[in-house]
Structure 1
Amino acid sequence: MQRTLYIVRHAKAEDRASFQRDHDRELIPEGIIAAARIGRYLKERSVRADCIVSSTAPRARDTARVVAEQIGYDVDQIRQDPDLFDGGPKAYLAAVNALPDTCTTAFIVGHNPDVSYFAEFLTHQNVGSMSKGAVVAVRFEDLNWAEVSGRTGHIDFQMAPKQLSNE
């Protein structure tokens, strides 16, 4: 069975203020628009989600919500994983390995550099530094989520909001 993981970097957030924790930064309007643009792009490609896992940081959580709304996924079903904030690529792998096998199409929404490293770890393909709001689709053949590891996936496509026209 084929499984697809959509790795999404959170969209553009407010700059960090001296009194604000990095975890607590919110999306700015430009980021909301970019997340909606990526979500609409995925909907046009007939992408649906069975599972969405997001970092607990507001900028990642809200990116996940905007994308979910665009593709018709119930935002109340988004699972938040606190380990995806500063947990490193190992936290992303643990989140993917814990996905239920009933889920064939999953999203994971988080932070750079972890998401970029994670995509490259899974595929052994050059992803570069994912821009804010970007998505990388990684396909796995004949693997359960628990079997996903380094070099087991292949990139189907990579898209950033800046690559999409202002519709």
Structure 2
Amino acid sequence: MTTSVPASKSLKLYLIRHGIAADKGNYPQDEDRPLTDKGEKKTRQVAQRLREIDLTFDLILASPLLRAHQTALILQETGLTPEVKPSTSLAPGGDINNWLSWLTQWRSQGGTHLGLVGHEPDLGHWAEILIWGEVRERIVLKKAGIVGLNLPDGNPVGNSDLFWLTSPKFLIGESGVK
């Protein structure tokens, strides 16, 4: 008698940097900086392009900072996800280990496509930790840029595969917002 072993299911993780935000000097609290008009328009263009290529997320987690939350809501309004939740792990200087604990539980519920909206250099560092197991200061996301990773079952640290790294300019072309 042969027993079948369930196929392992990789998770598609998309790390998305928030859109262009207002200058730091104009806001006493960094967390209050909103997207600029240009940042909102460019983020909408990126979101629309992602919709055109049939990218969707089971869930988007976003940094609680305003510019990241606004970016996540634009992605939701475009139909890329049914749900956006805040995550303090995605705030600047957030702890990847807290997020990894959350991820284990979320994956057990059957999620397969997850978006994270946050900040640089943290998102680039997280991608490097997931790919190489350490920060190498090599991956940098442009504003509204995206990194796509395949995370295996089990421990994704040092075991994940990069499948996508793109700037918004590549997605929306030269005709995008100037």
SS of the aligned residue for 1:17 comes to helix
Distance of aligned partners of 1:59 and 1:49 in 2 relative to their CA distance in 1, 3 Å threshold: same
SS of the aligned residue for 2:25 comes to coil
**Residue 107 of structure 2 corresponds to residue 119 of structure 1:** no
Please report the RMSD computed on the Cα atoms of aligned residues, expressed in angstroms. 2.2
Residue 166 of structure 2 corresponds to: 159
Q: Which of 7, 11, 14 matches 1:3?
A: 11
Tell me how far 1:148 sits from its aligned partner: 3.9
Identity of aligned residues (%): 23
Maintained 8 Å contact 1:11/1:27:
yes
Tell me how far 1:29 sits from its aligned partner: 1.1
Maintained 8 Å contact 1:43/1:70:
yes
Q: Which of 73, 77, 84 matches 1:78?
A: 84
Q: Which of 120, 134, 139 matches 2:145?
A: 134
Unpaired stretches in structure 2, ≥5 consecutive residues: 1-8
Residue 103 of structure 2 corresponds to: 96
Residue 3 of structure 2 corresponds to: none
Q: Which of 31, 56, 64 matches 1:23?
A: 31
Q: What is the one-letter code of the residue matched to 1:162? A: K
Unpaired stretches in structure 1, ≥5 consecutive residues: none
Distance of aligned partners of 1:109 and 1:96 in 2 relative to their CA distance in 1, 3 Å threshold: farther
Q: Distance in 1 between matches of 2:130 and 2:26?
A: 36
Deviations 1:96-155 (A, max 9, x none): 3442432110001111110001111111298521111101111124x1xxx343222111
**Residue 75 of structure 2 corresponds to residue 62 of structure 1:** no
Q: TM-score, normalised by structure 2?
A: 0.80
Maintained 8 Å contact 1:36/1:66:
yes
**Residue 60 of structure 2 corresponds to residue 41 of structure 1:** no
Q: Distance in 1 between matches of 2:99 and 2:148?
A: 15
Q: Distance in 2 between matches of 1:21 and 1:97?
A: 33
Maintained 8 Å contact 1:89/1:117:
no
Q: TM-score, normalised by structure 1?
A: 0.84
SS of the aligned residue for 1:67 comes to helix
Q: What is the one-letter code of the residue matched to 1:12? A: I
Distance of aligned partners of 1:91 and 1:32 in 2 relative to their CA distance in 1, 3 Å threshold: farther
Distance of aligned partners of 1:39 and 1:95 in 2 relative to their CA distance in 1, 3 Å threshold: farther
